[in-house]
Amino acid sequence: MAEEIAVRSGAFLGGRAREAGPGIGARLRKLATLARQNPLGTLGLIIIVVFVLVAIFAPWIAPYDPKAFSGQRDEGISASHIFGTERLGRDIFSRVVYGSRISLSVAVISVLIGGSIGICFGIISGYMGGIIDSIIQRTVDAAIAFPALLLLLIITQALGPSFKTIVFALMLAVIPGVTRVVRGAVLSEKNNQYVEAARATGAWAPRVLFRHILPNVVALGIIVMTTLLGTIILAEAALSFLGLGIPGATSWGQDVSKSREFLPYNVNAAVFPGGAITLTVLGFNLLGDAIRDIFDPRLRGSR
């Protein structure tokens, strides 16, 4: 059985891949070198992995139900509440742990969907050219020129805040940036000699597109998507800070907002959820920079 799968996947990958594939040991060594060369990127990856694990295993990590009144109101830091409690006596640590679920899931889903749409638009725009290109590019101009936060606020308020509408709004915010970069990449690939050569041999247009242009361009699109994850987490947090987050959800932005509503201010309730946002965004930014540097040295230091 196992042999059959191996043979099949071998056939799928093509004979060459099987012969040339390095052993697991060699691959790990390569990975270790890569990590040593990019200490900041590695740090970013570690931060993200930790937050992803926290989000997945939240029920086992959080000592209390994030919505239960597990202590007195505005308690300080103690052994039973390591981050203290917020205004209603709920455990801040548990709320920070559960808050990671919303932040990460909303950001990852909207970047995946929006990024894929952006890649499609970018390819269409760059490959087709002409009037379609102009329409897409002017729309992208309009979207980029505009304060994204205002558009997000309008969309979520118009549709009513919920998981779906917030993902939809953030997805729209991702599309223009990805479209722009991918279009540029398609244009430069189109002028490469190998594409011309493929065309000259009479290759069918979609075949040129899928075999030659797509692989190079999609990689770039994915890099841009990684660098956007941090920005999208910030945007989601800002939405929930302004009260347009997912209703009833435990979210970092909303908790920061609640901390300053009444006197006396609750410092712990502001510091810890906000710190969690910063750390997550930092992780994604560091990883995004490192990935970009590794895969596309031309873009190095561009941010």
**Positions in the binding site for other proteins (CB under 8 A):** 40, 138-139, 141-142, 144-151, 153-155, 157-160, 230, 234, 237-238, 241-243, 253, 256-257, 259-260, 265, 267, 270-271, 274, 277-279, 281-282, 285-286, 301-303
Contact 284, 230 (CB under 8 A): yes
163-183 burial string, b = 16+ CB within 10 Å, else e?
Answer: eebbbbbbbbbbbbbbbbbbb
Least distance from other proteins to the Cβ atom of residue 74, Å: 12
**Least Å distance between CB 210 and other proteins?**
31
Minimum CB separation of residue 32 from other proteins in Å reads: 24
Choose between 61 and 271: whose C-beta lies nearer to other proteins: 271
- CB closer to other proteins, 109 vs 153: 153
Nearest to other proteins of 209, 287 (CB atom): 287
Burial of 42 from C-beta contacts in 10 A (0-12 / 13-18 / 19+) = middle
Helices (H), strands (E): how many in the chain? Answer: 14, 0
Closest to other proteins by CB, 60 or 262: 262
Of 179 and 285, nearer to other proteins (C-beta) is 285
State how far the Cα of 135 lies from the Cα of 120, in Å rounded to an integer. Answer: 15
Closest separation between CB of residue 279 and other proteins, Å? 8
Q: Is the dihedral of CA 144, 149, 155, 161 positive or negative?
A: positive
CA within 13 Å, CB half, 287:
19
Minimum distance of other proteins from residue 227's CB (angstroms): 11
